[in-house]
Amino acid sequence: MKNCFKKLSIAQKQTLWAYVFLFVPLVFYLVIRIYPAFNAFYLSLTNWDIVSVEKDMVFFENYFSLSEDPLFWKTLGNTFKYVIYGLPINLVLSFLIAYNLNKLKWGLGIYRTLYFIPFMTSLVAVSWVWRWLYQPLPLGFFNNLLSLFGIPEQPFLMAPSQALPSILAPTIWVQMGFQVIIFLAGLKAIPQSVYEAADIDGANNRQKLFRVTIPLLRPTIIFLVITGTIKYLRIFTQVYSMTYQGNGGPLNSTKPLVLYIYNTAFQRFDMGYASAMTVVLFLIILVITLFQLKVLNKDD
Partner 1 sequence: MTKSKLNKTNPLVYIIMGIGGLLMIFPFVWMVATSFKQPWDVYNLSIIPTQPTLANYFRLLATSNFPRWFFNSFVVSIAVTMSVLFFDSLVGYTLCKFKFKYKNIIFLLILSTMMIPTEMLVIPWYVMSKGLGWANSYWGIMFPGIMTGFGTFLMRQFFQSVPDDLLDSGRIDGLNEFQIWWKIAMPLVKPAISALAIFTFLGNWNAFLWPLIVTSTNSLYTLPVGLAFFSGEFQTEWEMVMTGASVATIPVLIVFLIFQKQIVRGIALTGLKG
User: Hey, which residues between 148 and 177 contact partner 1 (CB under 8 A)?
Assistant: 173, 176-177
Count, residues near partner 1 per rule CB under 8 A: 98
Alpha-carbon distance of 256 to 64, in angstroms, equals 20
Q: Which is nearer to partner 1, 85 or 236 (CB)?
A: 236
Contact between 32 and partner 1 by CB under 8 A: the answer reads yes
Contact between 97 and partner 1 by CB under 8 A: the answer reads yes
- Taking CB under 8 A as the criterion, the residue among 49, 81, 116, 154 binding partner 1 is 116
- Judged by DSSP in three states, 194 sits in helix
User: How distant, in Å, are the alpha carbons of 99, 177, 195 from that of 95?
Assistant: 6, 11, 18
Least distance (Å) between residue 164 CB and partner 1 = 20
Contact between 225 and partner 1 by CB under 8 A: the answer reads no
Within the chain, residue ranges assigned H as helices are 2-7, 10-28, 35-43, 61-67, 70-81, 87-101, 108-120, 123-133, 141-148, 160-188, 192-200, 205-207, 214-216, 218-233, 237-242, 257-266, 271-296
Alpha-carbon distance of 144 to 50, in angstroms, equals 48
Q: Which is nearer to partner 1, 85 or 99 (CB)?
A: 99
Contact between 107 and partner 1 by CB under 8 A: the answer reads yes
Alpha-carbon distance of 115 to 94, in angstroms, equals 10
Interface segment toward partner 1; rule CB under 8 A; list 56-64, 153-161, 182-190, 247-255? 182-190
- Taking CB under 8 A as the criterion, the residue among 125, 194, 209, 295 binding partner 1 is 125
Neighbouring residues of 26: CB distance < 8 A, sequence distance ≥ 6:
none
Least distance (Å) between residue 288 CB and partner 1 = 11
- Taking CB under 8 A as the criterion, the residue among 45, 66, 225, 274 binding partner 1 is 274
